[in-house]
Structure 1
């Protein structure tokens, strides 16, 4: 872990796209500003851990559902019916 000291108004640059600036210090609390592109998610650690747990739970449930569906017998088509073919892509006749 890299440990740095910063004063109010000073910043830390992470990579080429993220800047963390110390905005205010009050007792044992520090306010920081984070400037990052929208494509980079920024969360407080407790929120990140909660999202991570929800994603793991959802992935586990999806995997269980997939296994159950794979075990289900496939319904046979009624005799004399053909399988439907996918629709042809639209033609571009400009």
Structure 2
């Protein structure tokens, strides 16, 4: 695992810049990330990904509000 440190406003790029991860803010132990990726690349939180994996027939799982 590659571990990088970034500050608010800084970015990480993946796959020659096709994917960008932006640090939006960090406060009280919470980090908000913005992710730009091509439409053919799925981006999910881990718990949503696992839910989709356990229920492949219903891949349009709505996130809890």
TM range (shorter): 0.7 to 0.9
Partners of 1:22 and 1:28 in 2: CA distance: 13
Point out which structure has higher relative CO (alpha carbons under 8 A, 6+ apart). Answer: 2
Residues 47-66 of structure 1 correspond to what in structure 2 (within 5 A)?
Answer: 47-55=48-56, 58=57
Cα distance in 2 for partners of 1:14, 1:5 equals 15
CA distance in 2, matches of 1:27, 1:5: 17
The alignment of Structure 1 onto Structure 2 pairs a total of residues equal to: 56
Give the CA RMSD over aligned residues: 0.9
Q: Which residue of 1 aligns with 2:63?
A: none
Work out whether 1:39 is the aligned partner of 2:40. Answer: yes
Give the CA deviation at 1:20: 0.2
Residue in structure 2 matched with residue 84 of structure 1 by the alignment:
none
Based on CA coordinates, which of the two structures has the bigger radius of gyration? Answer: 1
TM-score, normalised to structure 2's length? 0.81
Question: Which portions of structure 1, spanning 4 or more consecutive aligned residues, are displaced by more than 6 angstroms?
Answer: none
Gaps of 5+ in 2: 58-65
By percentage of residues, which structure has more helix? 1
The unaligned stretches of length 5 or more in structure 1 are 59-94
Q: Which has the higher strand share?
A: 2
Cα deviation per residue 1:47-86 (whole Å; 9 max; x = unaligned)? Answer: 000001112xx5xxxxxxxxxxxxxxxxxxxxxxxxxxxx
